Homo-oligomer: A and B are copies of this chain.
Amino acid sequence: MTDPRYTALVATLPSTVPFVGPETQERTRGAPFAARLGANENVFGPSPRAIAAMKRAVAGVWQYGDPENFDLKQALAAHYGIAAENVVVGEGIDGLLGYLVRLLVSPGDKVVTSRGAYPTFSYHVAGYGGELVTVPYRGDYEDPVALIEAAAEADAKLIYIANPDNPMGTHQPGSVMEAMIAAVPEGALLVLDEAYLEFAPADTAPPLDVANKRVIRLRTFSKAYGMAGARIGYALGEAGLIGAFDKVRNHFGVNRLAQAGALEALADQRYLEQTVANVAEARSRLETIATENGLTVVPSAANFVAIDCGQDGKFARRVLDGLIARGVFVRMPLVAPQDRCIRVSAGTPELVELFAAALPDALKEATE
């Protein structure tokens, strides 16, 4: 009996996973992690109002969610002072990135990104047959000028940048991003991933101009709003581009509890401010811990800190393995020279102290 007839493209794709989940690692090591600080999840969690809304919504989960995400789109439109036609809600930024790549990328089309940037975006590009053109980080910063130049040279359809960046946590000021948007070449679309925006200084976001067809902004309830497991995010952009998502999206794909929670989370901006303050405090403590261990940190505007282990990727990997072995889940950049770092999420004080307790031994072991 022969195999199903996969498409020519699918036949070339590996069954890879962009990220191994911490649960998989827990099963491998036979014990749960004491500190889950590897996936840039926000352990401060959602607003109590959002939690209450999700609990209330559970009894009604027999109903499909509203396929238009009407209430949330209205609330987001009001929040940003734009029209609902400039907002599409989807299954997290991951889901929206998949739809966006599908809308634009045919086999052989060029897509520009930074070498070592978000693997899930690259996974989607490969999944639709796109060809990645990568640009190195400049220092530990994504390089807007080089990305634009590479896009012009390659006649790229998409240019991806995250601001703040992941996995390094660095950011560009809004003025630089504004200049980048203005420089997007004819025929290209800038994918500006702002998943971590709420943690960054106020001037990080360039002006929101939803008349501009050259940029789409992606934001999420997974990070600052503490709802990663709910799978809900949104994109802001020109109405024609936003409307095109209706051609390919899974219309009933957003979880009904997520819709209810996101609406309340957005409404509770005071809780968001508290979270941002909590995260800033954790970042500061992580920097202190690094310093106490003779290490330095990369300046972060996100809810995680890249700690420079001071040697190469092999050494950082050993440090990471030592932390994992001690029940502290962290991740690390995958490409040199950024892979000299480990990436630690901004946890509660208790969790950060577990990291602090494990780091000296992990470092010592890695050095031996």
A21-B67, A105-B7 given; A253·B92 CB < 8 A: yes
| Chain B residues whose CB sits within 8 angstroms of the CB of A228 once the complex forms | 61-64, 256
Question: Which chain B residues border A46 with CB–CB below 8 Å?
Answer: 61-62
| Contact of B39 with A62 in the complex, beta carbons under 8 Å | no
Closest B residue, CB atoms, query A66 = B23
Please state if B13 and A70 are interface contacts (CB–CB under 8 Å): no
Instruction: Determine whether the beta carbon of A54 is less than 8 Å from that of B63.
Output: no
Give this chain's copy count. Answer: 2
Minimum C-beta distance from A49 to chain B (A): 12
Interface size on A, residues (CB 8 A): 88
A129 to B45, CA, bound (A): 42
Name which of A200-208, A242-250, A281-289 contacts chain B.
Answer: A242-250
- A251: which B residues are within 8 A, CB to CB? 17-19, 120
Cβ of A29 within 8 Å of any chain B Cβ, yes or no, is no
Instruction: Tell me, rounded to whole Å, the shortest Cβ–Cβ distance linking A338 to chain B.
Output: 22
- List CB contacts (< 8 Å) of A52-86 with chain B: 54-55, 57-68, 70
Please name all residues of chain B whose beta carbon is closer than 8 Å to the beta carbon of A42 when the two chains form the complex.
62
- Which of A94-102, A316-324, A356-364 interfaces with chain B? A94-102
Nearest CB of B to A262, in Å = 11
B104 touches A21 (CB 8 A): no
The complex places the Cα of A224 from the Cα of B358 at a distance, in Å, of: 48
Query: Which among B51, B92, B256 is the interface contact of A229 at CB below 8 angstroms?
Result: B256
Does A151 reach chain B (CB closer than 8 Å)? no
- Asked if A255 and B258 make an inter-chain contact with CB atoms under 8 angstroms apart, the answer reads yes
Q: What are 27 A-B pairs at a CB distance below 8 A?
A: A5-B157, A7-B102, A7-B104, A10-B102, A10-B104, A10-B247, A15-B246, A18-B251, A19-B67, A21-B252, A23-B67, A23-B70, A27-B70, A39-B64, A41-B62, A57-B229, A58-B58, A58-B257, A62-B226, A62-B229, A65-B229, A91-B91, A127-B247, A228-B256, A231-B252, A231-B253, A255-B257
Given contacts A61-B230, A120-B251, A255-B258, 17 further A-B contacts (CB under 8 A): A3-B241, A5-B104, A6-B103, A7-B105, A10-B247, A10-B248, A19-B67, A24-B70, A27-B70, A39-B64, A54-B61, A61-B261, A91-B91, A91-B253, A94-B250, A228-B256, A230-B257
Q: Show the binding face of A for B, using Cβ within 8 Å.
A: 1-10, 13-19, 21, 23-24, 27, 36, 39, 41-46, 51, 54-55, 57-68, 70, 91-92, 94-95, 98, 102-106, 120, 127, 157, 186-187, 189, 212-214, 222, 226-231, 240-241, 243-244, 246-248, 250-258, 261
